[in-house]
Amino acid sequence: MQKKFLANLILLLTLNLLIKPFYIFGIDLSVQNVVGTDYGIYFVVFNFSFLFSILLDFGITNFNNRNIAQNNQLLNKHFSRILVAKLMLALGYFLVTFLIALIIGYHGIKLHYLAFLAINQFLISFIFYLRSNISGLLLFRTDSFLSVLDRILLIIICGILLWGGVAPGPFRIEWFIYAQTASYGLTAVIALLVVIRKAAFRRLSWNWPFIVMILRKSFPFALLTLLMTFYNRIDSVMIDKLLPSLDGKEQVTIYASAFRILDAVNMIAYLFSVLLLPIFSKMLKTGDPVVHMVKLSFTLLITVALIISLGCYFYSDELMDMLMVAHVQQSSDVFRIMMFGFIAISSGYIFGTLLTANGSLWHLNLIAGGSMLLSIILNLLLIPRFLAVGSAWASVITQFASMIAQMIMVWYIFRFRISWRFILTLTGLIAGLIAINLITKMLPVTWYFGFILMIVLSLILAFVLRFIRFSALAGILSESSAKAEK
């Protein structure tokens, strides 16, 4: 199972690392630099549309992923019924989202943006549900392709509008939103066709007792997602509401520039969880020990997280100067703080996924509820005084508090033994990475050469300390290639 996890992880990461960084830094960043502070308005409305997106799914996707992984035969039975439930939930999402938007004062252009962004959230939720069936069947290669298809389409559409010379005028943020709608729509259609073929789908099936049952079972997943969404996405909405209109718009734009990169690297950690949830679920059902899989995935992910987070801290000024055309220093200040959250988020994806697979949802909900309250309180205290920097501190503190709580919960439930040798080696890795960053910063070379050298030396250190092993990776690559040829 470890070999299957690593082989598919390599494929999934390869596709996503080829496509999504180009989208984020080539398309999304270009859009922000072209439209300026209008991106701040889009970013606020986008995050607001996220807050109640759980109503589109109600935890069905996570429940379904775990359920299908353990009982493949249920796909044919459940698929058509869950489709009906998804359509009902979509109606509730639209009603709640627009009602609350009107209550808090959204009007004009914000409502226009919200209309399309809400549709986009529905399409995203639908794609994730369809992919949960595919990954639940352990069809990771198909799922890997679908995970990047929407971004490929967005790159093509926005690339033509930005640089193709066919647009009737300067690029507008509305075009970016419309391009998302088209890309998500086409991806949803393709994913639906794949699942219909696997599920032998014929027609929609209305079954109210089943819908009530599935919603009752998935409620803990829904509550967890709602709480996590609030403490991860409410920052920009609070900046917009707590600061005067002009300052709020500017500070949201600054916050968005740093958040974009954190969101981009979070893709790596999220992809781990996509593969780990069905694998953990299967192992727990069959009684296989999960400790080795947990250590393997944590070791790989924490190594990447530490290299990225520390590198971004030491090279924040240079990176922001390269990426941004406005508010460079302010963006750098936010970015330097915010990237440390990636360490906590990465760990949370490992331990949180294990707890989810184990069905320990109420434990996770207690952690997420406390994290949400902590995030709101910290934002209320820090944003008026420190602006976007204060929100960055609130985010990092909340993420680390959540990570520590999840690690304690995993230790309590699974009774993993604490490896002091591993902790000592991890401490040595952190110290070594800090030293490498300090040394490469002092070298009389261009900053980007120093940055690349830092990454190379950091990876060498990880191999020396056996956080990454050549023999394991070589064996996995060899096995993966052999399977591909067959």
Question: Mind listing the pLDDT tens digit of every residue in the chain (486 residues)?
Answer: 545 555 555 666 666 667 877 887 788 888 888 887 788 889 889 989 988 888 887 767 766 666 655 555 556 666 777 788 888 889 999 999 999 999 988 888 889 999 999 999 999 999 988 887 777 666 767 877 888 899 999 999 999 998 887 877 788 899 999 999 999 999 999 988 888 877 665 666 666 777 777 777 777 777 877 788 777 778 888 888 888 765 677 888 888 888 878 887 887 777 777 677 777 887 888 887 888 788 888 888 899 899 999 999 999 989 888 887 777 888 899 999 999 999 999 888 889 888 888 878 888 889 989 999 999 999 999 998 888 899 999 999 999 999 999 999 988 888 888 788 888 999 999 999 999 999 999 998 899 899 999 999 999 998 888 777 655 444 333 433 333 334
The count of domains in the chain is 1
For residue 365, is it within any domain? yes
What gap in Å lies between CA 281 and CA 287, rounded to an integer?
A: 10
What gap in Å lies between CA 422 and CA 428, rounded to an integer?
A: 10
For residue 163, is it within any domain? yes
For residue 48, is it within any domain? yes
For residue 290, is it within any domain? yes
| Residues 167 and 31: beta-carbon distance below 8 Å | no
For residue 447, is it within any domain? no
For residue 432, is it within any domain? no
For residue 156, is it within any domain? yes
For residue 459, is it within any domain? no
pTM for this structure?
Answer: 0.73
What gap in Å lies between CA 482 and CA 486, rounded to an integer?
A: 7
What is the span of the domain harbouring residue 80? Answer: 2-417
Q: pLDDT tens for residues 68-125?
A: 555 555 566 667 777 888 888 899 999 999 999 999 888 888 899 999 999 999 999 9
Mutual angle of helices 341-357 and 361-386, in 10-degree steps: 160
| Residues 411 and 436: beta-carbon distance below 8 Å | no
Amino acid at 189: V
